[in-house]
Amino acid sequence: MKLLKYIYWIIFPLILFILDVVLNIENFFMRTFTTSAIAFFLSPKKKKIKIQTGEKTQITWFFLKEPIFLN
């Protein structure tokens, strides 16, 4: 669960490196903005959902078909 808090910070440098090597964008702000947008899109999203038995945490991700529920 703690990894989900930091997954954005794991994805961001990887995408930054890949875009630097593949696209070779020289403008720092353009490269950072593009990387931030892609990392935000690829990072898992977490929300709390109220159900009859209480609250559960739902994790959705771009690569998963169905959400993951945590207690």
Q: Which amino acid is at 38?
A: I
User: Binning pLDDT at 50, 70 and 90, where does residue 69 land?
Assistant: confident
Could you tell me the residue range of the domain that residue 63 belongs to?
Answer: 2-70
For residues 46-55, give the mean pLDDT. Answer: 88
For residues 8-28, give the mean pLDDT. Answer: 81
Residue 35 exposed, middle or buried by CB count within 10 Å (0-12, 13-18, 19+)? buried
User: How many domains would you assign to the chain?
Assistant: 1
